[in-house]
Amino acid sequence: MPERLFEYEVYLKDGIISLQSEEEGYGTLSKAQSEKLKKLLFKNEDTQAPESYVAEGYIVKKTEDKIRVITEIKKEEIMGNQEQIDSLLKEKYEGKGYVFNLNKMDERIKSSLNVGKKVMVEYDEANLPAPLNANALKVRTVQE
């Protein structure tokens, strides 16, 4: 029925894709189906690594070794202090985005990453908890 549109969250773990929707529930694809969908969803022509994926969005939270990136958020929404941002995340973006582990990044890159910067992150397979958790392989800032 084309008049019915649903929003799905996509999770990737051990090469298998799971889908979750408030309206339609939760489901897991077979390995073959997952491979087909991965080629469509995670097409990444800028990297040589076949098992890497890319996310682009704004950093909304940073700790010593992790950043949280949300792809749907607008720059204007994260202009306040961290307490205001945390409140917005809780009410509007709970469970959305990614938490990237920065253990594989050198200190120069880590120190250049701050809340409010737009970044493109190349990462390995993500774990299922929301927000998705993954290891960042490469991080670069995006000029606006």
Within 10 Å of residue 43's Cβ, how many Cβ atoms? Answer: 9
Which percentage of the chain shows pLDDT scores above 70? 87
Decide yes or no: CATH 2.40.50.140 for domain 45-141. Answer: yes
* Domain range list for the chain: 1-43, 45-141
Per residue in 83-108, pLDDT (tens digit) is 999 999 999 998 888 999 999 888 99
Residue 2: asked if its preceding bond is cis (omega within 30°), the reply is no
Per residue in 24-64, pLDDT (tens digit) is 788 888 888 877 777 766 555 554 434 568 889 999 999 99
Measure the CA–CA gap between 83 and 89, rounded to whole angstroms: 10
Residue with tokens 């997952």: 34
Measure the CA–CA gap between 35 and 22, rounded to whole angstroms: 24
Which percentage of the chain shows pLDDT scores above 90? 41
